[in-house]
Amino acid sequence: GAGVSQSPSNKVTEKGKDVELRCDPISGHTALYWYRQSLGQGLEFLIYFQGNSAPDKSGLPSDRFSAERTGGSVSTLTIQRTQQEDSAVYLCASSLVPGGSTDTQYFGPGTRLTVL
Amino acid sequence: GEDVEQSLFLSVREGDSSVINCTYTDSSSTYLYWYKQEPGAGLQLLTYIFSNMDMKQDQRLTVLLNKKDKHLSLRIADTQTGDSAIYFCAESRTGGTSYGKLTFGQGTILTVHP
């Protein structure tokens, strides 16, 4: 597709359940990022994938959060045993090559997660 | 450490210019970005500036960078009601452990009155 796509657009779950959020980056983009947007914390970096390198997980808030990127393309963010404070909009972005003028990150529409 | 600050609200009349300000603390910031977010939507890239530039103009948008004061501004000329949105300033670096990751300001809510 032309842009970054994410699914689902909305997810409502019960506290304690696991959820999976999906991101399809722009074709050919080597870098993929996950961010979280919440009222209290603003926009926060979660995790970053670049090619076959080990991901930068420094932004993940707890070990209940994990992410993988298969085949250098699609990424899945998994939240285990969800808590109410996990409620937020989860945004995915991709860029062609990190660290230069082509590092411009293009964002998907986000997944709104609500934990009841 | 990394810190990006913006004023939270700006209100202007249609046709006036809007100026949204941003300050950052990391002197190793390489690229600085402005993103726009409309209600219920994702982040739309508006423009970016490389840290060795002072100014960048793109149609109605003008970005000014004062690297000495670590101050970035976005000027929107002839502001329209469709410009009402949240504007985020963000910075990234090209080295170290934070390679490529964006650090965002809190966002400025721009309201344009007819």
DSSP for B40-102 reads T--EEEEEEEETT-SEEEETTEEEEEETTTTEEEEEESS--GGG-EEEEEEEEBSSSTTBT--
Measured between beta carbons, which residues in chain B are less than 8 angstroms from residue A101?
Answer: 31, 50
How far does A58 lie from chain B, in Å, by closest CA? 9
What does the pLDDT read at residue B41? 83
CA–CA separation, A103 and A75 (whole Å): 19
Of B45, B99, B105, which has the smallest distance from its Cβ to A99's Cβ?
A: B99
Phi, psi (5° rounding) for residue A106?
-110, 130
Contact A104 B45 (CB under 8 A): yes
Contact B100 A43 (CB under 8 A): no
CA–CA separation, A54 and B63 (whole Å): 35
Measured between beta carbons, which residues in chain A are less than 8 angstroms from residue B104?
Answer: 42-43
Measured between beta carbons, which residues in chain B are less than 8 angstroms from residue A91?
Answer: 42-43
Which strands sit side by side in the sheet containing B55-58, from one edge to the other?
B4-6, B18-24, B71-76, B61-66, B55-58
Q: If contacts are CB pairs under 8 Å, which of residues 60-89 in chain A contact chain B?
A: none
B48, pLDDT greater than 60: yes
pLDDT in tens, chain A (116 residues): 579 999 999 999 999 999 999 999 999 888 899 999 998 778 999 999 988 888 889 899 999 999 999 887 999 999 999 999 999 999 999 988 765 555 788 999 999 999 99
Q: Any CB–CB contact under 8 A between A21 and chain B? A: no
What does the pLDDT read at residue A17? 98
Decide which of B28 and B97 is more confident.
B28
Strand pairing category for B108-113 and B9-13: parallel
Mutate to test the interface with B, among A33, A38, A44, A107 (most CBs of B within 10 A): A107
